Amino acid sequence: MSAVVSAAGCLAANDWICGEYVRSRAQELTDATVEHVWITAVSVLIGLVVAFPLALLVRARPRFAAPVLGLTTVLYAIPSLAMFSLLLPLFGLSAALVVTGLVLYSLTILVRNILAGLASVPEEAREAARGMGYGPGRLLWEVELPLALPAVMAGVRMATVSTVALTTVGALVDHGGLGTLITTGLKSFFKAQVLTASVLCVLLAVTADLLLLALQRFLTPWTRPARTPGTLIRKAG
């Protein structure tokens, strides 16, 4: 490419990097990003709401551990394309379909990390709280959850980053946020659209991770920024 090509020329030349594309399609890019963010956020939040009772159930009744952890592992092994397709008869072509699939995936990471967090609470802390007359509810809310927070937040960060990547597969049902721009860009061989949407997607994941890290530091001022535990599994997006 010669340096004299004008800014608008990059669209005609189908360049990978094109400022004119970003300017002229700003609205489209914003809409896709907004959809991507809300689908991810809603999925992780619902995932947390479902994962907490599951983790508490497994802790209170260890005989549920094998079925709950086994089921979430099996769900995780199901390919995203298949998961979204299997939900199609139930939800039709909707954002609810994508959110449901993402919630099911997030459970694997969240349930395990919540359990790991609760298991990491020192027994002495529990004993001390009980000795001070804390009931089970107050013990959980005021002692165990704050102490479990680093592991829980590690899970939330991991789940969020993989959910951002997985949301792209929602393009299958036209609710993939930036993923929809990636697949339509492929159909029209539009390089700038594919690259811009991909880069935004990675930036979104990194930004979400950093924001959650900041939130974790804010919520747990007593911990040093040490290595947080986590599982070594990931899911494709």
Partner 1 sequence: MGAVTEAWTWLTTGANWQGESGVWHRLAEHLWFSGVCLVVSCLIALPLALWLGHIGRGGALAVNISNAGRAVPTLAVLVLLTLTPLGRQGALPTIIALVLFAVPPLLTNAYVGMREVDRSVVEAARGMGMSGGQVFARVELPLAYPMVMTGLRSATVQVIATATLAAMAGEGGLGRIITAGFNRNDTAQVVAGALVVGALALLAEGLLVAVGRAFDPMRATRRAH
Contact positions vs partner 1 (CB under 8 A): 74, 77-83, 85-86, 88-89, 158, 161-162, 164-166, 168-169, 171-172, 179, 182-183, 185-186, 189, 191, 194-195, 197-198, 201-202, 205-206, 209, 232-237
User: DSSP letter string over 168-225?
Assistant: GGGGGGT--THHHHHHHHHHTT-HHHHHHHHHHHHHHHHHHHHHHHHHHHHH-TTS-S
Q: Which is nearer to partner 1, 44 or 147 (CB)?
A: 44
Q: Which is nearer to partner 1, 118 or 156 (CB)?
A: 156
CB of 165 to partner 1, least distance (A): 4
CB of 68 to partner 1, least distance (A): 17
CB of 46 to partner 1, least distance (A): 20
Q: Which is nearer to partner 1, 76 or 134 (CB)?
A: 76
> What is d(CA 237, CA 234) in angstroms, rounded to the nearest whole number?
10
CB of 37 to partner 1, least distance (A): 15
Supply φ then ψ for residue 218, to 5 degrees: -65, -40
Closest listed residue to residue 36, CA positions, set 110, 83, 100, 99: 99
Q: Which is nearer to partner 1, 156 or 194 (CB)?
A: 194
Taking the CB of residue 113, how many other CB atoms lie within 10 A of it? 27
Amino acid at 179: G
Look up residue 75 and give its two tokens: 């769900």
Give the per-residue SS3 of 119-166.
HCCCHHHHHHHHHCCCCHHHHHHHHHHHHHHHHHHHHHHHHHHHHHHH
Cβ proximity of 192 and 25 under 8 Å: no
Look up residue 234 and give its two tokens: 């990931």
CB of 131 to partner 1, least distance (A): 37
CB of 195 to partner 1, least distance (A): 7
Q: Which is nearer to partner 1, 56 or 69 (CB)?
A: 69
Supply φ then ψ for residue 155, to 5 degrees: -65, -45
Q: Which is nearer to partner 1, 74 or 211 (CB)?
A: 74
CB of 61 to partner 1, least distance (A): 25
Q: Which is nearer to partner 1, 147 or 180 (CB)?
A: 180
